[in-house]
Chains A and B, each alone.
Chain A
């Protein structure tokens, strides 16, 4: 049994699901009834048994998975690249050719899941064999590897050479066809596991990922890493978590799923990838009118944009133009302080920690203190809780009050706004952009203009001596998109 080091184990973990799937496919490809029809293929003067053409593989894939040509070719390439199928003609070129080029299935002995990672010793023996056979005429990079290995594992070199000689001797006693097949198999294996410089390295992977299983092997890391062992604490937490989950209120699937259908339907006209956008998608036509017409400080918004405010209160508030309009409406209703309070709370929640006490103080003076200039109506219980929290102001101290005002606006002012003349007139005046006529010569690019960087806006503000703090609704980036 080979002793696996941690890194081997870790990487193989990531690859295993893919390899298992690929191997399953390969096995079904070799099924005597439903698989690819294998026949003898002629290679120069020898006849290789159990081979197939590239076209065979291609057609089988299309039929089996009902996929397009491009996808079938893609999957076929993967099999060749990972060494499950190897070419007989031009063996150094690991690609799938959709013609009558001969290919063969790699023996499971050399599959990635069984013999990975390839051992240095095996590679040394392989190169030694080649060296002996070709009397020192190895390919450049193989020569380099050979010399490097010779240096690195010098102490076992006698063993390497002896093994190489033994294997060469044994293979001489085989039939020529068998010998060629075995050589091809071995060569294919090494082309995948020791790719020549310049070709893609399939074994390339990201940084090592760890799970509880891989860590079990090393005792030391147990103690060092708190979450590495499933101890009593871990299970107790799980039990508690599961108990709470059991008690949760759930909603019927039919209701939840219907809501997706409704949501997708409602937003489809607003989804440029699904339905295009007017006047045109800037990425496709190189015309940025769409962005200009929808920027944050436009005076006449588009119809789609204004319609979107009616989807939910959140939509209205997250659009700076929408918020401005809503504020105008609230001013008419003499309840603008609600929105201002909400904005001030957002500022506290998302602003710099050092400024929180100061901001909270301001909020109290302006909105919550008895007789405040912009007093907001909060119920006594929430007010009490909030005032209690003021003794030690923190980021979330205004959350309850903010929530109360938010829902007040949502239930009361927002529906009335949507029914108001202000909104209806805006909707009537709103622009429906004309579709940009497609250019007669589509392959000639329009000039792509650059836009001022959002960072520029802050630079200017900094130069004016103002603070650098910019929240999304302070619209600093508004100047950047104005063109």
Chain B
């Protein structure tokens, strides 16, 4: 039997710390050699917490230092904030009556639609649902072209490859798999499946980079990762979120090297794909961030959150520059996307509606009804002619 003495304030074992500890009281933890019991686990917890502490440091001092720095950062950010977005937008003409209707309704999923993505040919889409089905449609004709049944339920992520020849998807299986699209009616798509990404929790989002060869994934295990499709190798991992990462989006920049992610820790992080570093971080939401999307110029990005607001963050000003919210909007925004010019922001909400926002003026220009359950995904087509919404009512709608 091993007896360990610990100071219950700083949690360092007394052998290393007793000279500095001013308190008389010490608690004892007894470790039993034959089975693990709560006391051992608690010991590990506190040991883990204290690893890396220098002399005189405690968790509390570190936390305090971090908070002070955060405060200073907010001050710095505020210094250069000389005007609000809606003020700058005063001189622009307001948008007129906005009319958008459902032009196509895609029925065929037997359960909630969770995710969708457009093909670069501007008319095909891939969608995934709770029952494990992934369907490729020609949205224009509403014909189904391919269908795959995944071995897991809740396929929360799907993406179309840039070449149009494959789709990637994943969910509760913690993996991201790539399926090459074969036009042979007799061929079973599942046979040629390629397992690419492996996480330790559910896959929340995936996206091909500029080619079919690399995939970026985000997961409930709190990390994002970049994978090589051919070998399945992990190329880079991105650590920094302290909770589930729910969404990611690649930057449309010249150098094509960054992406943004949003998660349940209310943070939106911008990452450098090459180094794996978190280059910028924004934390102003009051609840989980469900969706992140870059403004078309790449200088800013929008987020949709469970706190029923969408926000715009500027990367050069390094701060939040707009909030899109209304008193009458109660439920969280699950998915956001910009129109081609970036003037409009389409946001799908958990109250079954889609709200259309004027990005510059900060006002809502329209509210679209039609879905009979939560809107889970909203994406504008590659040429901006329409946008597609997927919902828990098992359908997808094309609006234009």
Contacts and interface: CB of A to CB of B under 8 A. Distances in A.
B314 A256 contact: yes
B35 interface: no
B73 A254 contact: no
Chain B contact residues: helix, strand, loop or mixed: loop
B278 interface: yes
B306 A14 contact: yes
B328 interface: yes
B3 interface: no
Nearest to A258: B88
Contacts of B380: 273
A230 B359 CA distance: 36
Nearest to B92: A261
Interface string A245-258: 11010111111111
B295 interface: yes
Interface stretch (A142-150, A325-333, A470-478): A470-478
Interface in A205-250: 206-207, 209-212, 219-220, 222-223, 227, 229-239, 241-243, 245-246, 248, 250
A349 B255 CA distance: 11
A453 B145 contact: yes
A253 B341 contact: no
A476 B163 contact: yes
Interface in B136-155: 138, 140-141, 143, 145, 154
Contact of A210 (B88, B140, B243): B243
Contacts of A236: 52, 62
Contacts of A266: 341
A241 B239 CA distance: 12
B331 A18 contact: yes
A284 interface: yes
B318 A245 contact: yes
A453 B164 contact: yes
A242 B210 contact: no
A70 interface: yes
Contacts, number: 353
A313 B255 CA distance: 12
B53 A264 contact: no
Interface string A150-178: 00000000000000000000000000000
B307 to A, nearest CB: 5
Contact of B240 (A68, A237, A242, A273): A237
A469 B162 CA distance: 11
Interface of A: 14, 17-18, 21-22, 25, 61, 65, 67-68, 70-71, 74-75, 78, 200, 204, 206-207, 209-212, 219-220, 222-223, 227, 229-239, 241-243, 245-246, 248, 250-261, 263-268, 270-274, 277, 281-284, 288, 290-291, 294, 313-314, 346, 349-354, 395-396, 399, 403, 406, 448-451, 453-459, 468-472, 476-477, 480-481
30 contacts: A65-B326, A68-B367, A74-B353, A207-B156, A210-B220, A222-B48, A230-B63, A234-B242, A236-B62, A243-B69, A245-B318, A253-B82, A253-B83, A253-B319, A257-B85, A257-B88, A271-B340, A271-B344, A272-B384, A272-B386, A273-B380, A291-B123, A349-B210, A350-B211, A350-B214, A354-B231, A396-B274, A450-B140, A454-B120, A481-B121
